[in-house]
Chains A and B, each alone.
Chain A
Amino acid sequence: MAVITIARLAIREVVRRRLILALVALTLLAVALTSWGFSRIPTITQRGVPLPDVQVKLIASQLLILVMFMFSNVLALSAVFVASPSLSGDIESGIALALLARPISRRDYVLGKWAGLAALVVAYAAATIAIELAAVDLAVGYVPPRPLEFAAFILAEGLVLLSLAILLSTRVSGMVGGVVALVLFGMAWLGGIVGGIGAVFGNDVIENTGIATKLILPTDGLWRGAVYHLQPAAVLAAANAAGPAAAANPFFAAAPPAAAYLAWCALWVVAMLTLAVASFRAREI
């Protein structure tokens, strides 16, 4: 029960501190601007002739991947910003003293914080994706092939970063934890590109480096899963026919992640939370 109490407290903190308000306002602004952009695609002409519908949708599909990349980054940054100070901030301010003297375990405190923030990450991501996809559908009549699968991968990416930030928050201040999580996030993205380059040139060492980064921090691996589900079949077929060259493109995935990789990601989150609980248990308040 204490888990739910702490989860509700974490949600209320974010809402009352007007973080949600700021994020929602900016997100709606971004959706408005991007849907205006999408609505301009059909006005493009070639030698005075409007583009055929197939081409409009092809452009829309590629543009949507870029827009969603931006949203996934906003989600990642937001998850890190709210989670990094969640435990360390309570200890530094002294708020944790009165709470943890109550009959509540350290495990419930950590899991409660995670659960509350995870609910916010899921709610924000689901709402943003739904609104953006609806706006694009309205503007150019394009819906990506598997929107639910795409959303699931974006959510998973947010939860992975959230779990990492919670673990860091058991030991270091919010500022340090936030910087470390974001640098690792950036390196994982770069690692995915490097691994792709290794695959293009058949270099095992470079390719394995990319695979290793996907295992150490699975954000880019999950992003590739999200991208895969955004691509129309025609794009996939054309890219695959061109050989492995597209593997280095961070906005492309030739195949969905293997089931074993998804299991690894789930295990990774459980491991982060287990480590976070163990670390917080040993922490002096």
Chain B
Amino acid sequence: MSDAAIRTADLGKRYGRITALAGLALEVPRGAVFGFLGPNGAGKTTAVKLLLGLSSPTSGEAWLLGAPVSDAAAHRAARGRVGYLPELFRYQGWLTAREVLALHCDLMGLARSLWQRESDRVLDVVSLTDRAGTRVSTFSKGMQQRLGLAAALLGSPDLVLLDEPTSALDPVGRHDVREIIRALRAQGTTVFLNSHLLSEVELVCDRVAIVDRGRVVASGTFDELLAGDTVRIRVTGLPDDGLARFGTQQQRDGEWLVIRGMDASGIPDLVVEAIRLGGRVHAVEPAHESLEDRFLSLLGKDP
């Protein structure tokens, strides 16, 4: 079986006539910090729920640490090595933070002698040590999200799934989460980060998949995704595809031609070629494409 931390093949989920996820094919290598990026309602949470067996797929298969979701016993065993912070994070208000963590230690089958030490460790990581004995019902949303993150880190899992982990956090909290993710990467833990926050993903992830309306529209490392610069050239009188050999992707925008994936050092050659073919060059604009520009262009929206 695949050695990837997460693999999906043609994974799909339909709710009646609504397609939440269509033919998702993903491979997250072990040890990677993987960003799953997409606008609200793109199918990110659905994908995570399918991976964890909280929801069942209407097509395809998914493997969590090598265990297929269709094999209940193997998948359950694999979940013992997975930490999960849900997007809708709610913990038992009638328990204290420490009791919630003890419950999760118990459910994941951790030896009782380790509960106290593990709880102390993760409470320290998320800066909740001084609230350990407080009932969760008195926690702010941000504190509850920190507690959820702490629960996801219990027992040093092989894979941590974080669904919008900073949605309720202030800037300090967001910074803390980035540091936690970096520390996980240093330990070799695989992190699957669901987010619609481009900056968050850009700062911590080494691989990314962009999903829209239930489909992956692009994936790879940032270098692959943002291959080279973008050059905009306003040129008239040129045959179609005349400049096709430049860049990796081209797009017409009125008189403008947007060429992606070409190095800015190639601009003089581009202009010479345009004139040689009888074109009249009015303007040339080199631009470094940000993840946001790429994201918006992939979603079919003008940057």
Enumerate chain A interface residues (CB-CB to B < 8 A): 1-2, 5, 9, 12-13, 16-17, 93-95, 97-105, 282, 284-285
Are the CB atoms of B54 and A100 closer together than 8 Å?
yes
User: Can you offer 14 A-B residue contacts whose CB atoms are under 8 A?
Assistant: A1-B109, A5-B106, A93-B90, A95-B91, A97-B84, A97-B89, A99-B107, A101-B52, A101-B86, A103-B78, A103-B109, A282-B56, A284-B54, A284-B56
A43 CA / B84 CA spacing, docked (Å): 68
Contacts A93-B90, A100-B54, A101-B82 supplied; 6 other A-B pairs, CB < 8 Å: A9-B103, A16-B94, A98-B104, A98-B151, A99-B103, A101-B86
Question: Is there a chain A Cβ closer than 8 Å to B214's Cβ?
Answer: no
Are the CB atoms of A95 and B92 closer together than 8 Å?
yes
A12 CA / B148 CA spacing, docked (Å): 20
Are the CB atoms of B92 and A13 closer together than 8 Å?
yes
Question: Is there a chain A Cβ closer than 8 Å to B95's Cβ?
Answer: yes
Q: Closest chain B residue to A285 by CB distance?
A: B54
Are the CB atoms of A103 and B80 closer together than 8 Å?
yes
Question: Is there a chain A Cβ closer than 8 Å to B88's Cβ?
Answer: yes
Are the CB atoms of B77 and A103 closer together than 8 Å?
yes
A12 CA / B89 CA spacing, docked (Å): 21
Shortest beta-carbon distance from A191 to chain B in Å: 38
Q: B89-116 CB contact bits vs A (8 Å, 1 = yes)?
A: 1111011000000011011110000000
Q: Which residues of A contact B76 (CB under 8 A)?
A: 103-105
Q: Which residues of A contact B53 (CB under 8 A)?
A: 100-101
Count of inter-chain pairs, beta carbons less than 8 A: 74
A249 CA / B89 CA spacing, docked (Å): 53
A-B pairs, top 4 by smallest CB distance, nearest first, are A94-B88, A16-B94, A94-B90, A102-B107
Given A98-B89, A98-B151, residue A2 in contact with residue B107 (CB < 8 A): yes
Q: Name the one of B72, B80, B84 contacting A98, with C-beta atoms under 8 angstroms.
A: B84
Are the CB atoms of A103 and B92 closer together than 8 Å?
no
Shortest beta-carbon distance from B141 to chain A in Å: 12
Shortest beta-carbon distance from A285 to chain B in Å: 4
Question: Is there a chain A Cβ closer than 8 Å to B249's Cβ?
Answer: no
Q: Closest chain A residue to B135 by CB distance?
A: A16
Are the CB atoms of A103 and B79 closer together than 8 Å?
yes
Q: Which residues of A contact B56 (CB under 8 A)?
A: 282, 284
Q: Name the one of A98, A105, A284 contacting B86, with C-beta atoms under 8 angstroms.
A: A98
Q: Which residues of A contact B84 (CB under 8 A)?
A: 97-98, 101
Are the CB atoms of B79 and A17 closer together than 8 Å?
no
In B60-92, which residues have CB < 8 Å from any A CB?
72, 76-80, 82, 84-86, 88-92
Shortest beta-carbon distance from A182 to chain B in Å: 25
A5 CA / B107 CA spacing, docked (Å): 7
Given A12-B94, A104-B76, A285-B49, residue A97 in contact with residue B54 (CB < 8 A): yes
Are the CB atoms of A101 and B94 closer together than 8 Å?
no
Q: Which residues of B contact A99 (CB under 8 A)?
A: 103, 107
Are the CB atoms of B88 and A97 closer together than 8 Å?
yes
A129 CA / B90 CA spacing, docked (Å): 38
Q: Name the one of A12, A13, A94, A104 contacting B107, with C-beta atoms under 8 angstroms.
A: A104
A138 CA / B84 CA spacing, docked (Å): 58
Q: Which residues of A contact B109 (CB under 8 A)?
A: 1, 103
Shortest beta-carbon distance from A8 to chain B in Å: 9
Question: Is there a chain A Cβ closer than 8 Å to B138's Cβ?
Answer: no
Question: Is there a chain A Cβ closer than 8 Å to B55's Cβ?
Answer: yes
Q: Which residues of A contact B108 (CB under 8 A)?
A: 102-103
Q: Which residues of B contact A102 (CB under 8 A)?
A: 79-80, 104, 107-108
Q: Which residues of B contact A103 (CB under 8 A)?
A: 76-80, 107-109
Shortest beta-carbon distance from A19 to chain B in Å: 11
Shortest beta-carbon distance from A145 to chain B in Å: 43
A99 CA / B55 CA spacing, docked (Å): 14
Shortest beta-carbon distance from A98 to chain B in Å: 6
Are the CB atoms of B95 and A12 closer together than 8 Å?
yes
A284 CA / B77 CA spacing, docked (Å): 20
Q: Which residues of B contact A13 (CB under 8 A)?
A: 92, 94
Shortest beta-carbon distance from B151 to chain A in Å: 6
A100 CA / B76 CA spacing, docked (Å): 10
A104 CA / B75 CA spacing, docked (Å): 10
Are the CB atoms of B94 and A17 closer together than 8 Å?
yes
A16 CA / B91 CA spacing, docked (Å): 14
A1 CA / B80 CA spacing, docked (Å): 14
Q: Which residues of A contact B103 (CB under 8 A)?
A: 5, 9, 99
Q: Name the one of A5, A98, A284 contacting B148, with C-beta atoms under 8 angstroms.
A: A98
Q: Closest chain B residue to A102 by CB distance?
A: B107
A99 CA / B64 CA spacing, docked (Å): 17
A12 CA / B100 CA spacing, docked (Å): 12
